[in-house]
Amino acid sequence: MTPDLLTRGSETLDLSGEVCPYTFLRAKLRLEELPLGAALTVVVDHPPAAANVPRSLRAEGHEVVSVEQTGRACRIVVIKRAEHRLAKKE
Protein backbone atom coordinates (compact mmCIF):
# COMPACT_ATOMS: atom_id res chain seq x y z
CA MET A 1 0.00 0.00 0.00
CA THR A 2 1.36 3.42 -0.86
CA PRO A 3 1.83 6.08 1.79
CA ASP A 4 -0.96 8.09 0.12
CA LEU A 5 -3.45 5.26 0.57
CA LEU A 6 -2.24 4.54 4.06
CA THR A 7 -2.72 8.07 5.23
CA ARG A 8 -6.04 8.77 3.53
CA GLY A 9 -8.36 9.85 6.32
CA SER A 10 -5.66 9.40 8.92
CA GLU A 11 -4.35 11.99 11.31
CA THR A 12 -1.64 14.53 10.84
CA LEU A 13 0.43 15.87 13.70
CA ASP A 14 2.04 19.14 12.70
CA LEU A 15 5.17 19.70 14.76
CA SER A 16 6.44 22.65 12.76
CA GLY A 17 8.45 24.92 15.01
CA GLU A 18 9.16 22.14 17.50
CA VAL A 19 12.65 20.93 18.37
CA CYS A 20 14.06 17.87 20.08
CA PRO A 21 13.03 16.31 22.43
CA TYR A 22 9.49 17.67 22.04
CA THR A 23 9.22 16.40 18.47
CA PHE A 24 9.74 12.82 19.57
CA LEU A 25 7.78 13.16 22.80
CA ARG A 26 4.70 14.63 21.13
CA ALA A 27 4.78 12.05 18.33
CA LYS A 28 5.03 9.30 20.91
CA LEU A 29 2.18 10.66 23.01
CA ARG A 30 -0.04 10.99 19.94
CA LEU A 31 0.72 7.44 18.85
CA GLU A 32 -0.27 6.22 22.31
CA GLU A 33 -3.80 7.43 21.66
CA LEU A 34 -4.15 5.56 18.37
CA PRO A 35 -5.06 1.91 17.86
CA LEU A 36 -2.46 -0.56 16.64
CA GLY A 37 -2.15 -0.40 12.87
CA ALA A 38 -3.26 3.22 12.62
CA ALA A 39 -1.27 5.59 10.45
CA LEU A 40 -0.04 8.96 11.59
CA THR A 41 1.62 11.63 9.50
CA VAL A 42 4.11 13.67 11.48
CA VAL A 43 5.29 16.97 10.01
CA VAL A 44 8.56 18.44 11.28
CA ASP A 45 10.59 21.37 10.03
CA HIS A 46 13.64 21.27 12.26
CA PRO A 47 16.24 19.65 9.96
CA PRO A 48 17.74 17.24 12.53
CA ALA A 49 14.25 15.94 13.33
CA ALA A 50 13.85 14.63 9.78
CA ALA A 51 16.42 11.94 10.53
CA ASN A 52 16.06 11.59 14.26
CA VAL A 53 12.29 11.29 14.68
CA PRO A 54 11.98 8.35 12.24
CA ARG A 55 14.94 6.61 13.85
CA SER A 56 13.48 7.04 17.33
CA LEU A 57 10.05 5.84 16.24
CA ARG A 58 11.55 2.73 14.65
CA ALA A 59 13.50 2.08 17.84
CA GLU A 60 10.20 2.18 19.72
CA GLY A 61 8.85 -0.56 17.48
CA HIS A 62 6.77 1.43 15.01
CA GLU A 63 6.88 1.14 11.24
CA VAL A 64 8.08 4.20 9.37
CA VAL A 65 6.56 3.91 5.93
CA SER A 66 7.95 7.03 4.30
CA VAL A 67 9.95 10.17 4.97
CA GLU A 68 9.33 12.86 2.40
CA GLN A 69 11.15 16.17 2.37
CA THR A 70 9.31 19.08 0.75
CA GLY A 71 11.25 22.28 1.11
CA ARG A 72 11.87 22.76 4.80
CA ALA A 73 9.03 20.52 5.88
CA CYS A 74 9.45 16.80 6.31
CA ARG A 75 6.43 14.44 6.33
CA ILE A 76 6.95 11.21 8.19
CA VAL A 77 4.32 8.51 7.78
CA VAL A 78 4.35 6.03 10.63
CA ILE A 79 2.19 3.05 11.45
CA LYS A 80 1.66 2.23 15.07
CA ARG A 81 3.07 -1.25 15.63
CA ALA A 82 3.73 -1.26 19.36
CA GLU A 83 1.64 -0.54 22.41
CA HIS A 84 3.57 1.73 24.63
CA ARG A 85 2.43 4.05 27.35
CA LEU A 86 4.49 6.62 29.16
CA ALA A 87 3.62 5.94 32.75
CA LYS A 88 2.16 8.78 34.70
CA LYS A 89 3.68 9.01 38.11
CA GLU A 90 1.99 9.96 41.40
Partner 1 sequence: MGLELGVLLADDRRLAEAGEAIRSLAREPSGAALFLMDDGARAASAPLMMELLEAGVEVALCAADAEARGVLPVDGGPRFGSQYDHAVMVRDARRVVALTGDGHRDDHAPPAGAGRRVVRVRLTRDVRDGKTAQALRSAVGYAACDLDVVIAVEPPARAILDALAARSAVVSPGSGNLPQGSRLLQSSLLQLPEAVLRAVGTLRGLGHRIAPASDAPPGHLEVTW
Q: Catalytic positions, please?
A: 20
HSE (side-chain half, CA atoms, 13 Å) at 1: 11
- Taking the complex as a whole, the smallest distance from the CB of residue 90 to partner 1 amounts, in Å, to 5
For residue 8, is it left (φ>0), alpha (ψ between -120 and 50) or beta? beta
Question: According to CB under 8 A, which one of 11, 25, 64, 81 is a site residue for partner 1?
Answer: 25
CA distance 21 to 70: 22
Measured from the CB atom, is 1 or 51 closer to partner 1?
51
Our finding on whether 51 is near partner 1 (CB under 8 A) is: yes
CA distance 34 to 64: 15
CA angle (75, 77, 79) in 5-degree steps = 160
Our finding on whether 20 is near partner 1 (CB under 8 A) is: yes
Binding piece for partner 1, criterion CB under 8 A, among 9-17, 35-43, 47-55, 67-75: 47-55
Question: What residues line the site for partner 1 (CB under 8 A)?
Answer: 19-22, 24-25, 28, 46-49, 51-52, 55-56, 59, 86-90
